[in-house]
Amino acid sequence: MKITILTLFPEMFDGFMSNSIIKRAISKKVVEIKIVDIRDYTKDRYHRVDSAPVGGGAGLIMKCQPIVDSINANKEKNSHIIMLSPRGKTYKQERARELSKMDNIILLCGHYEGIDERVNKYVDEQISIGDYVLTGGELGSMVIADSIIRLLDGAIAEESISEESFDDNLLEYPQYTEPYDFNGEKVPDILYSGNHTAINKWRRKQSLNLTKELRKDLFDKHQLTKQDKKLLDEGKEKASWELAAIEKGKKFIK
């Protein structure tokens, strides 16, 4: 996959591209990331890329010409051009998975008070990462790029992304590490049982209950299976399979 980012501040991406999973994905040629400085395309004699809004108003607006020329110079036949914009649909994991199947994506970062309205016709999609205001689209483009890259084959271990928050509109189950007892808070005994069927049921039950309690908006979108309904119906009462696994786990700890 190739991801091209059009920005006025290319230096903001130095850290993003030189650390952790992103750096490894680039070195393994899982992804190619190209950072393009929109300023390189301005035809303004003073190299400006912005101007005051026509009709008056606060701040500066990014001009058409440098943006459109930077798009045209960098797009390919299969490029999907995305503008970071509050008008766009709120970005979700489902869209990240869809974008990860594309071969070529261009992310356009706005800045200042916005972008000339006439640029909209040159993009394929607008995306918002949330209902809040940032100084520009650079951080949003990093969020989108990161969420896509980690889904690409070879970027990270497949098992690391097989069960994650937001899959099936559910939050991920609780995770624990050693030691067993930390300041009086103990790892659930069932996780020591070795009974993977019981552990998976417990994790599913935790995932359902956490989502229902903390993210009712997600829970209402989830299609409950018969097993899900059974796990939820158990409520705070522990089922026989859970009690047996817990007892086995306690023996293991001792």
Whole-angstrom Cα distance, residue 103 to residue 180? 45
248 membership: H or E segment, kind and range: helix 240-253
Predicted confidence band of residue 143 (pLDDT cuts 50, 70, 90): very high
Two tokens at 219?
């829970």
* Mean pLDDT, rounded, of the chain: 90
50 membership: H or E segment, kind and range: strand 50-51
DSSP one-letter string for 151-166: TSTTTS-GGGTTS-TT
> Highest mean pLDDT range out of 90-104, 148-162, 200-214?
90-104
159 pLDDT more than 70: no
pLDDT digits (tens, 9 = 90+) for 84-139: 999 999 999 999 999 999 999 999 999 888 899 999 999 999 999 999 889 899 99
Total residue length of the chain: 254
187 membership: H or E segment, kind and range: none
Location of structure tokens 């903001």: 12
